[in-house]
A and B are shown apart, each in its own frame.
Chain A
Amino acid sequence: MATELISETKARSTLLVTLRDKLRLKSAWEKLTWTWRPETKREAGDAIVRNFVLHWFPAKVSLESLSWGYSFWLGTISAVLFLILTITGGVLMFLYVPSVERAYLSVKDLEFSTSYGWFLRGLHRIGAHLMVAVVFLHMVRVFLTGAFKNGRKAVGQNRPLNWIIGVALLLITLLLSFTGYLLPWDQLAYWAITVGTNIASSAPVFGEPTRFILLGGTTIEQATLIRFYVLHCFILPLATLWLVSYHMWRVRKDGGLACVEKRYEEAKKEERPAIASKTYSLLGITGGTAVDVRNVMVDDEKDKVPSSPYLTVRLAVVTLATLVASIVLTLIVKAPLEEAANPAVTPNPAKAPWYFLWLQELVTITTFTIGGFTINGALIGGIILPGVLVLAAVLWPYFDKSPVSSIGRWFPKERKWQNRIFLLIIVAILILTFIGTFMRGPFWEIYMPWQEWEQTPRKF
């Protein structure tokens, strides 16, 4: 009875297989979904290694790389924010009109008449603000943990290069924000372009041509808006996408997060018992009963877990948390829209967004007169000082001679001075930002945060 049943099942399944093969159902399905089916696990693994997108994730990750307290997952959060910005930005492109006459009205429509337009715009705006903050904090984390330094001698390791790419990404993030808040063509936009392009024009020799090509002429007009629009929606996001991909791929090429370097240091210290089974001195290799091999071997399997699900689930949690935080902030913080751009009237005071206020302070306080010669603060505070900061950041890894043991740890004693200098610069930037945000009133006069501003007529 049982034998009959089995043979009947077999016959039926053979029939099904034959039918499927005859109708070519399997092949059609595979053609639609697979370009190639791996035959072995080795082939499947190779496929992941060869795939650029999947290459971001290793098959296994160390537990310390997954810790919340070491990296705060700031890089991942930045990438998630970029994803949110790309998606909301894509929708906004259907609704926004990049024309001087209609840009402001289209944003106003978005805010007041389009269904959920206020939400899309708000989420895009909050996402941008968060991205500036998170990318900056990510840089601070990498510096303070010395994660831009190469550790053990590993093939292809070049963490300083990845740090430089990170600096470039921070600059692109700032440019994306700058070009973004120009698009509503309100007062904030107009005066930001005025000040921004005049800072560019204060550079010697290349200044004026740079301003001319940015504006598409000598005055802020349609040519200017369309240039910033293309930069914001196409060129800068493309550059970000490309650099972020490379940045993440390099983390793997550099041997993972810098915190894993500790394991190699610890492995060096580990005492390994000598194998006393042979006498090497007889062979003329070395004295004693064991060959002392100083090559550091780290047991890769120890403390390592499969990326899926350990990394992927955490990634999902971070993505969800970032999305929830952005949405909650969007609901709480209203996205402002100033009056329509008016070249005749500069708002009093005219303030940049918070992340550029330290620069606004710098250009205010750096005009110097030596003898009869005056150097504009725009050149010193707007170009030279930020340029020096960027250059210092780029070169820092090549001059940081702190020991390998300080890599991948928070506030190591060996990097005390490096971290102090870095934090001093950060604190200076934060103080200038605070002054710009809370202590500047009409005509850029100093007011205490609790002091009321003097009432000035808006227009003359």
Chain B
Amino acid sequence: MKKQKPLDEIKAKILDAQENDPIVGGPAKNVELIGKASRRGFLKTLGISAVLVALGGQLFAMLRSLFPNVLYEPPQKFKVGTLDKFTDGGTFLEEKRLFIFRQQNTFHAISAACTHLGCTVKMVKLNQPKKVTAGGKEIEEQVEFHCPCHGSKYYGDGTNYAGPAPRPLDYFNLEVSPDDGQLIVDMAKKVEQDYRLTT
């Protein structure tokens, strides 16, 4: 019999160990399809998957941390002053980017944020009242809203009529505070254009 080379001997020993070892070589004998190479492959896949899952988890954690859970932002619902503060016509509340309109004892609040891309619209006082048809109704307007960023134009009731604005200005819900009689605006609660608070 030809004498085996030293390297072949080592190989044979390893093979023998793999086949007869109760832990490493054990199950392979019983399951024909899962050979030694597959077991190694399985462990390799398992290892790589574990690394990928760990990295993916960390990436997720990093990205998720960028979505804040607590916002230190001004509340959407706030008091704007007692009713007598508002005279007939429109008042612009700078801090809140909001117009409060009063007609005797009815109130409504219109957002000053342009519906196109969010710039603050400017209230333009007309020299003389103008009759326009907005939303199928004829109204007489004293003011209009024009946007300085892209030239959107709105009638006095907030209906868009020119420029790129896709929809009318937002209207917000109004209440009167029962404790001190102040007007409360809820910017989280949008209402229809014909909404009026009557006091």
A interface residues (Cβ-Cβ under 8 A, vs B): 191, 194-195, 198-199, 212-213, 216-219, 221, 223, 227, 343-350, 360, 363-367, 374-378, 442-445, 456, 460
Contacts and interface: CB of A to CB of B under 8 A. Distances in A.
A378 B116 contact: yes
B114 to A, nearest CB: 8
Contact of B71 (A217, A348, A443): A217
B119 interface: yes
Given A376-B116, A443-B147, A443-B151, 18 more contacts: A194-B118, A216-B66, A217-B68, A218-B73, A219-B73, A344-B94, A344-B95, A344-B97, A346-B149, A347-B148, A348-B122, A348-B148, A350-B119, A363-B150, A364-B163, A378-B116, A443-B148, A444-B149
A363 B123 contact: no
B81 interface: no
Given A217-B73, A364-B164, A460 B122 contact: yes
B193 interface: no
Contacts of B67: 212-213
A444 B150 contact: yes
A198 B118 contact: yes
Given A344-B94, A367-B166, A460-B123, A360 B150 contact: yes
Nearest to A374: B166
Given A213-B66, A343-B97, A375 B166 contact: yes
B120 A195 contact: no
Contact of A195 (B123, B149, B153): B149
Given A375-B166, A376-B164, A367 B116 contact: yes
Contacts of A377: 116, 150, 164, 166
Give the 7 A-B residue pairs with the shortest CB-CB distance, closest first. A444-B151, A348-B148, A344-B94, A367-B164, A377-B164, A364-B150, A374-B166
A223 B68 CA distance: 9
Contacts of A442: 148
Contacts of B153: 443
Contacts of A443: 122, 146-148, 151, 153
A338 to B, nearest CB: 14
B117 interface: yes
Interface in B49-75: 66-68, 71-74
Contacts of A345: 94, 120
A350 B149 contact: yes
A443 B72 CA distance: 33
B123 to A, nearest CB: 5
A349 B148 contact: yes
B164 A363 contact: yes
A343 B120 contact: yes
Nearest to A352: B149
Contacts of B117: 194-195, 198-199, 363, 378
Contacts of A221: 72-73
A209 to B, nearest CB: 8
A366 B66 CA distance: 33
B167 interface: yes
B165 A218 contact: no
Contacts of B71: 217-218
B66 to A, nearest CB: 6
Contacts of A344: 94-95, 97, 120
B86 interface: no
A379 to B, nearest CB: 9
Contacts of B146: 443
Given A364-B164, A374-B167, A376-B164, A346 B150 contact: no
B166 to A, nearest CB: 4
B195 interface: no
A376 B166 contact: yes
A194 B119 contact: yes
Nearest to B122: A460
Give the interface centre of B74, B119, B165 by most chain A CB atoms within 10 Å. Answer: B119
